[in-house]
């Protein structure tokens, strides 16, 4: 028995989730955001599976991530790099066929100063105040670029998970205003949650991210999403804690009655958040077992009193998956599903299944 925690990555589920978002998209279809190691699921494996299913547009944060995707998917698909453009990126963009997303007038000037042997995309900020050209800079950008047209014009919703937010309409209108400066250029606005907004807000190429991996919650989450991974760890030891005794560092949990405790080989050294202490959970079979005490670097303690027949060394406990819902676990840890999956480290063995 391996004592390493493991993440079984369900490539078939990820492909199925992408197909669901592709159906919800307009004529532009759905791309795939595979930055941050495909949200912890494995850049090469996920990109290869999605390309095989017909996905032809991929998004990453950095050029080195784009190179990894290119090696996985071959020469056909488009690969966009969100983070901007520096002169040092030019050789990699050229050799790997990457499309940098220009986020500022400075980025535009830098691209214009290169050999310009690779295309670019343009990001317009419509309300995030994060990356992208301000609306009052779009005209200047168009004049600087002259005859050079972007492959894609994109923006990003700030409040798409709330379909009633006035921000969605305001951003959609601002983006339409910016698009007038670049007639005929392909566009991209909707992120994962944007697929649940009105049809005009899903126009162009859409960019599902966490939703591809089964994450997201709220009214914009479509029915039918499946988990992208099952995160499991083995029970190392089972013991009975007596009433009045404490569990873990800081004695943060005191047992009110005799309790069957299981020590599991998973911790914050593997990327499972320490904030889930005394609030998170694992599933042993069909039984939800609460985390007791603080999470250690390598270990978690569970109350397995309700799962006595299964509670033995070598049994595997599910912490993310079909039973241990990603977003429910994230709420218990005081965070979002994004952080739980992207934070999983190299000690967690990835096992890929179709």
**Rounded-to-integer distance, Cα 329 and Cα 340, Å:** 8
| Closest by CA position to 148, among listed 177, 101, 182 | 182
Residue 91 region by backbone torsions, left for phi larger than 0, else alpha for psi between -120 and 50, else beta = alpha
156 within 8 A of 191, measured Cβ to Cβ: yes
Contact 294, 275 (CB under 8 A): no
User: 83 Cβ partners below 8 Å, 6+ apart?
Assistant: 61, 62, 63, 101, 103, 131
Q: Where are the beta strands (DSSP E) in 108-242?
A: 121-123, 152-154, 186-188, 229-241
- The continuous run of DSSP H or E covering 259 comes out as strand 259-264
Element (H, E) at 320: strand 316-320
77-113 b/e with 16+ CB inside 10 Å = b?
A: bbbbbbbbbeeebbebbeebbbbbbbbbeebbebbee
Residues taking part in catalysis: 35, 249
């Amino acid at each position: 028995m391996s004592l390493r925690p493991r993440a079984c990555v369900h490539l078939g589920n990820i492909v199925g989730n992408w197909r669901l978002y592709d159906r919800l998209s307009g004529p532009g279809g759905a791309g795939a955001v595979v930055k941050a190691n495909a949200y912890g699921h494995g850049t090469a494996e996920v990109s290869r599976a999605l390309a095989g299913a017909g996905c032809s547009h991929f998004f990453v944060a950095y050029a080195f991530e784009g190179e990894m995707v290119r090696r996985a998917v071959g020469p056909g698909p488009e690969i966009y790099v969100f983070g901007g453009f520096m002169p040092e990126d030019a050789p990699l963009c050229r050799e790997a066929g990457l499309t940098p997303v220009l986020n500022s007038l400075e980025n535009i000037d830098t691209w214009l100063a290169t050999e310009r042997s690779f295309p670019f995309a343009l990001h317009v900020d419509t309300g995030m105040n994060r990356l992208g050209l301000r609306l009052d800079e779009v005209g200047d950008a168009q004049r600087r670029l002259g005859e050079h047209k972007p492959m894609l014009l994109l923006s990003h919703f700030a409040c798409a998970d709330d379909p009633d937010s006035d921000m969605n309409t305001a951003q959609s209108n601002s983006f339409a205003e910016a698009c007038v400066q670049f007639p005929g250029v392909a566009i991209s606005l909707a992120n994962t949650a944007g697929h649940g907004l009105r049809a005009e807000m899903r126009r162009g190429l859409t960019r599902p991210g966490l939703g591809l991996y089964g994450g997201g919650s709220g009214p914009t989450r479509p029915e039918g999403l499946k988990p992208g991974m099952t995160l499991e760890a083995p029970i190392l030891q089972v013991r009975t804690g007596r009433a009045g005794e404490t569990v873990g560092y800081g004695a943060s949990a005191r047992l009110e009655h005799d309790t069957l405790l299981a020590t599991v080989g998973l911790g914050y050294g593997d990327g499972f958040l320490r904030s889930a202490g005394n609030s998170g959970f694992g599933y042993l079979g069909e039984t939800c077992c609460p985390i007791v005490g603080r999470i250690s670097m390598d270990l978690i303690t569970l109350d397995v009193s309700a799962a006595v027949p299964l509670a033995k060394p070598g049994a595997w406990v599910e912490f993310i998956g079909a039973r241990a819902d990603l977003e429910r676990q994230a709420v218990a840890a005081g965070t979002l599903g994004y952080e739980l999956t992207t934070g999983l480290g190299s000690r967690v063995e990835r096992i890929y299944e179709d």
